[in-house]
Amino acid sequence: MSDSYVLVLNASYVPLQRVSMRHAIKMLVREVAVIEEEADGTFGPFPVPKVLRLVRYVVTRWMHRRAKVCTKSAIKARDKMCAYCGGLAETVDHIIPRSRGGGLTWENAVAACVRCNHRKADRTPAEAGMLLLITPRQPTFSVVA
């Protein structure tokens, strides 16, 4: 039960984030949220929530500002996999290497596994004979939630 997540909606029914079951129960105890949908069973005195709705509306301008900031963690969150082999994304690779003037931008950085990042090294994907599985671009919504 502790590894399950609960969807949290704003008071306007717009999805905000997923939280752990423990966090969801704390929100219910503090009475900042109400259960919109519940699963089978109980968690102490509470029914097991699947979806919570906040009692008061929360302004979420911060969610849209974060997508403008290009960071390594944001790149990994955007891609969710290695851009070359589809494996686990552990590092960030610059398509045009930094030594050749490429910077950390949404269009020039992709998530990569350590093996592919080392294989590509200080070359472009074409020079290394590697194809990109994704087209890097700036996201239109928050990737870091």
Residue 132 has pLDDT above 70, yes or no: yes
- pLDDT given for residue 62 in this prediction: 54
**Average pLDDT, stretch 29-41?**
92
Closest among 70, 74, 78, 76 to 114, alpha carbons compared: 76
- Check residue 145 and give its pLDDT: 42
Q: In this model, does residue 73 exceed pLDDT 70?
A: yes
Which domains, from first to last, does the chain contain?
Answer: 5-54 (no CATH), 65-128 (1.10.30.50)
pLDDT at 129 over 70: yes
Give the burial string for 64-83 (b: 16+ CB within 10 Å, else e).
eebbeebeeebbbbbbebbb
**pLDDT band for position 144 (cuts 50, 70, 90):** very low
Confidence (pLDDT) at 42? 80
Quote the mean pLDDT of the chain.
Answer: 87
- The token pair that represents 78 in the structure block: 């955007």
Cα angle 57, 58, 59 (rounded to 5 degrees) comes to: 120
**What percentage of the chain has pLDDT greater than the value 70?**
89
The strand order across the sheet containing 5-9 reads 15-20, 5-9, 46-54, 33-43
